[in-house]
Structure 1
Amino acid sequence: MHIDLIRTSSKSLPHQISETLSQRISSGLLQQGVRLPSVRSLATALRVSQVTVSKAYDVLEKRGLIYCRQGKGCFVADPEHTRRQEDGRWQDVYDDYLPRAQLWRNFDYSEVKYPFHIAAIHSELLPLKNIGDSFASLVTQQPELMATYGNFQGDLELRGIMRDHLKTRGIALASSDVMITSGTQQGIDLVARTFVGPGDTVYLEAPSYTGAIDVFAGRGAEMIFVPTDSEGMRVDILTRMCDQRPPKLIYTIPTFQNPSGVTMSIAKRQRLLELARSYRCLIVEDDPFSDLYFHAPPPPTIKSMDSEGHVVYMKSFSKVIAPGCRIACVAAGGNILSRLIAAKSASDLGSPLLTQRAVLPFIAGKYETYAAQLRVTLRGRMEKAAKLLKLYAPPGVKYILPEGGLNLWLELPASPDIGKLHELAEQESISFLPGDVCYSAETPSRHIRLCYSQMNETDMEEGLRLFLRLLGRFLQMGS
């Protein structure tokens, strides 16, 4: 079993081992009943003492994640302590390099009636017919597009449309400064694979986007989470942290942050950019939701204030118009973008040309009008969810209503067993996103994320009412 240990880290080696194994267990990479490597073999593989591994296993056993039997070994725990069949057991000890993989679990609730776990927009609100008609026309009239590799950087005309779109938001670019990616998830992965290696320091908001945490963990980065307040990341705390560990990269979702929904003030955006300049590091500005504001437009992007190329800006279009199309743009300057394009060429040989051409007419001609109407609709959904929270949220449950985006971020009282709550919710055909997956540390979170836009309006109201009543019964049981 391979585990990247950062021997210069402030975290002890036993802590790093137990943290990585706990993340593998919670994300399902190590399943119930699997036998862990022996203390001796893991110590040899990791080049640490057996005492170090024993301490890590002791932590996991105390947390109930594994159980150990004298002479038999240590196993990933389950309620019945069952064992797997011997067939295929070789796969359990076949080394991989995945420290955690929470994101794939977030989509694993397709059968529930009330899916609050995915930050997405219900299909009835999306312009699927427009884009579908565009696909049909292209396939009929230009079938050769299906036989054509796209440019590694993306279709030139679509890049021009996206450049013009960003210009209206204060980001002045040339088409050559824009790259098309298969969603912002690919963009994050390309930045990480290009610029982040084992032991590099990456700062993120606490909490942060699960998919980004997975990516940076996979690169062996030393992830440090920065507390947030109602105006976003605590840049004052980040500044002190950087004095101790200079950043290689800072990842942020400054507008309607996922999962918390908070928006970074313009003063903090300016200070964050100054920090990047002083440490000569990159900021990855992930911007999936800035077009989905409910009242006033959000503050200017950090990229719009960047004159020296410190910001890699990412904007998803598929999130808002058609998630299955996987279309986003990455904006960066100079040699930074050149290296990202090189990484993309090795990743996928270019995003599908047919898909790029299919979404192009809508983004060029109808997007702004559509986004304005969508803002009105989503604001109505959020306000209905807010009324239900006011009526049915149990005492002690805290939340701040977002000014845009798709999510509600609830803080539960005390230290509830959110895993048990998750099980009870699934029995009622309800899903939600546990806050634990939005952090990297082992400290359990008291938060959950609920998306109010994934269902039709009737199901959203009915499901949220059922969930809040269930939450009230659950919290009473624990009091």
Structure 2
Amino acid sequence: MHIDLLRSGSKSLPQQISETMAQRITSGLLQPGARLPSVRNLASSLKVSQVTVSKAYAELESHGHISCSQGKGCFVAERARMSLDAGTGWQDGYDDFLPRAQLWRNFDYSKVEYPFHMAAIHGDLLPLDSIGATMSTLVTEQPELMASYGNFQGDLELREVMCRHLQGHGIHLRSSDLMITSGTQQGIDLVARTFVGPGDTVYLEAPSYTGAIDVFAGRGAEMIFVPMDNEGMKVDVLTKLCDRRPPKLIYTNPTFQNPSGVTMSISRRQRLLELARSYRCLIVEDDPFSDLYFRKPPPPSIKSMDAEGHVVYMKSFSKVIAPGCRIACVAAGGNILSRLIAAKSASDLGSPLLNQKAVLPFIARKYEAYAEQLRTALRGRMEKAAKLLKQHAPQGVSWNLPEGGLNLWLQLPTASGISRLHELAEQEGISFLPGDVCYSGEVPSRHIRLCYSQMKEADMERGLRLFLRLLDKHLSSVR
């Protein structure tokens, strides 16, 4: 079993081992009933003492992740034992380099009737007919698009359209400063693979986007989570942390943050940029939701204030028009972008040209009017969800209403039993995102995320009522 250990890191070696294995277990990379390496073998492969591994296993057992038996060994806790095909048993001992894969687990709800777990927009609100008609015409009239790889940097015409959109939001750049990616998830991955190596310090908000945590964990980075308040990441705390551990990269989702919904104030955005300048590091500004404000536009992006190329800005378009098309852009300056394009060329030979051409006319001519209508629809859904919470949420449950985006971030009175609540909800056809996956796993989270935009409005209301009744019953049982 491969685990990247930071010998000079802020966490002890037993803690690093136990946290990595716990994340592999909770994300399904280690199946229930799977046999773990012996203390002797794991200590040998990791080049640590057997005492170190014993402490890690004891920590895992104390949290119910594994069970150990004298003379038999240690096994992943068996909530629901899964049988293994005898012909593929050899695969269990085949090393991989995945420390966690929580994002993968978040999409594994094919039979759920009320999917509150996924930050997405229901198809009835999306312009699928318009984009589908364009794609159909392209396939019929320009079938050669399906035979073309396209430019590694992305279709020039689409980049020019996106460039005009971003210029309208105060980001001064040229089309040559943009790269098209297959969603912002690919953009995060390209930045990490290009600029982050084992032991590099990456700062993130606490909580943070699950997919980003997965990516940086996969690079062996030392992730340090910075607390937030109602103005976003506490930059004063970040500054003190940077004095001890200089940053290689700072990842932020400053506008209607996923999962918390908090928006970073303009003063903190400015201070964060000043910090990046002083440490000569990159900021990754992930911006999927800034067009989805309810009352007034959010503060200007950090990228709009960046004159020296410290900010790599990522904007998803498919998120709000057609997620299946997987279209986003990455804006960066100087040879930072050149290196990202080189990384993308090795990754996928360029995003699908047909998809880029399919979304282009809509973004060019219809996006602004559509975004205004979408904001109205999403605000209505958020307000209905908030009303139901106010009427039916159990005592001790709290939340803050977001000014935009897709999610509500609920704080429960206790972290106890949230995994059990998750199981009970799934039995009722309901899913939600446990807050634990939005951290690196040190402390159990009392939070859960609910998305109010993924279902038809009536289904959302019905599912939320059902969930709140279930939550009330659950909290009564653990008090």
TM norm. shorter chain > 0.5: yes
CA–CA distance in structure 2, aligned partners of residues 455 and 414 of structure 1: 28
Please tell me whether residue 51 in structure 1 is matched to residue 21 in structure 2: no
Q: 5+ unaligned residues in a row in structure 1: which ranges? A: none
Partner residue of 2:329? 329
Answer yes or no: is the 8 Å Cα contact 2:154–2:351 preserved in 1. Answer: yes
Answer with 78-87 or 410-419: which moved more: 78-87
1:292-303 mapped onto 2 (5 Å cutoff): 292-303=292-303
Shift of 1:463: 0.4
CA–CA distance in structure 1, aligned partners of residues 435 and 78 of structure 2: 22
TM-score (norm 2): 0.99
- Count of matched residue pairs: 479
Partner residue of 2:441? 441
DSSP 3-state at the match of 1:255: coil
The one-letter code of the counterpart of 1:116 is F
Which deviations, in whole Å up to 9, do the C-alpha atoms of 1:289-336 show, x marking residues without a partner?
A: 000000010000000000000000000000000000000000000100
Partner residue of 2:393? 393
The one-letter code of the counterpart of 1:176 is S
The alpha-carbon distance between structure 1 residues 80 and 117, as it changes in their structure 2 partners (threshold 3 A), is: closer
Which deviations, in whole Å up to 9, do the C-alpha atoms of 1:424-467 show, x marking residues without a partner?
A: 11111100000000000231101000000000000000000111
Which deviations, in whole Å up to 9, do the C-alpha atoms of 1:129-184 show, x marking residues without a partner?
A: 00000000101110000001110000000000010000000001011100000000
DSSP 3-state at the match of 1:95: coil
The one-letter code of the counterpart of 2:325 is C
DSSP 3-state at the match of 2:399: coil
CA–CA distance in structure 2, aligned partners of residues 85 and 366 of structure 1: 52
Shift of 1:81: 6.8
DSSP 3-state at the match of 2:398: coil
Partner residue of 2:454? 454
Answer yes or no: is the 8 Å Cα contact 2:31–2:82 preserved in 1. Answer: no
The alpha-carbon distance between structure 1 residues 85 and 143, as it changes in their structure 2 partners (threshold 3 A), is: closer
DSSP 3-state at the match of 1:330: strand
Please tell me whether residue 6 in structure 1 is matched to residue 6 in structure 2: yes
The alpha-carbon distance between structure 1 residues 295 and 416, as it changes in their structure 2 partners (threshold 3 A), is: same
The one-letter code of the counterpart of 1:154 is G
The one-letter code of the counterpart of 1:282 is L
DSSP 3-state at the match of 1:88: helix
TM-score (norm 1): 0.99
CA–CA distance in structure 2, aligned partners of residues 62 and 456 of structure 1: 42
Partner residue of 1:40? 40
The one-letter code of the counterpart of 1:140 is T
Partner residue of 1:133? 133
CA–CA distance in structure 2, aligned partners of residues 79 and 446 of structure 1: 22
Partner residue of 2:105? 105
The one-letter code of the counterpart of 1:232 is G
Please tell me whether residue 213 in structure 1 is matched to residue 207 in structure 2: no
The one-letter code of the counterpart of 2:231 is E
Which deviations, in whole Å up to 9, do the C-alpha atoms of 1:198-230 show, x marking residues without a partner?
A: 000000000000000000000000000000000
1:48-447 mapped onto 2 (5 Å cutoff): 48-79=48-79, 84=84, 86-447=86-447
Answer yes or no: is the 8 Å Cα contact 1:34–1:84 preserved in 2. Answer: no
The alpha-carbon distance between structure 1 residues 181 and 252, as it changes in their structure 2 partners (threshold 3 A), is: same
Which deviations, in whole Å up to 9, do the C-alpha atoms of 1:26-64 show, x marking residues without a partner?
A: 000000111111111111111111111111111111111
Answer yes or no: is the 8 Å Cα contact 2:394–2:472 preserved in 1. Answer: yes
Which deviations, in whole Å up to 9, do the C-alpha atoms of 1:232-277 show, x marking residues without a partner?
A: 0000100000000000000000000000000000000000000000
Answer yes or no: is the 8 Å Cα contact 2:32–2:79 preserved in 1. Answer: no
Answer yes or no: is the 8 Å Cα contact 1:416–1:475 preserved in 2. Answer: no
CA–CA distance in structure 2, aligned partners of residues 70 and 442 of structure 1: 28
CA–CA distance in structure 1, aligned partners of residues 243 and 425 of structure 2: 44
Which deviations, in whole Å up to 9, do the C-alpha atoms of 1:378-436 show, x marking residues without a partner?
A: 00000000100010000100100000000000000023211100011111110000000
DSSP 3-state at the match of 1:119: coil
DSSP 3-state at the match of 1:204: strand
Shift of 1:363: 0.2
Shift of 1:111: 1.0
Structure 1 moving runs of 4+ over 3 Å:
79-87
CA–CA distance in structure 2, aligned partners of residues 227 and 441 of structure 1: 14
CA–CA distance in structure 1, aligned partners of residues 318 and 448 of structure 2: 25
Answer yes or no: is the 8 Å Cα contact 2:23–2:441 preserved in 1. Answer: no
The one-letter code of the counterpart of 1:433 is L
CA–CA distance in structure 2, aligned partners of residues 230 and 217 of structure 1: 27
The one-letter code of the counterpart of 1:321 is I
The alpha-carbon distance between structure 1 residues 77 and 291, as it changes in their structure 2 partners (threshold 3 A), is: same
Which deviations, in whole Å up to 9, do the C-alpha atoms of 1:63-122 show, x marking residues without a partner?
A: 111111222211101147787564422111100000000001101112111100000000
Answer yes or no: is the 8 Å Cα contact 1:273–1:306 preserved in 2. Answer: yes
Q: Percent identity?
A: 78
The one-letter code of the counterpart of 1:258 is N
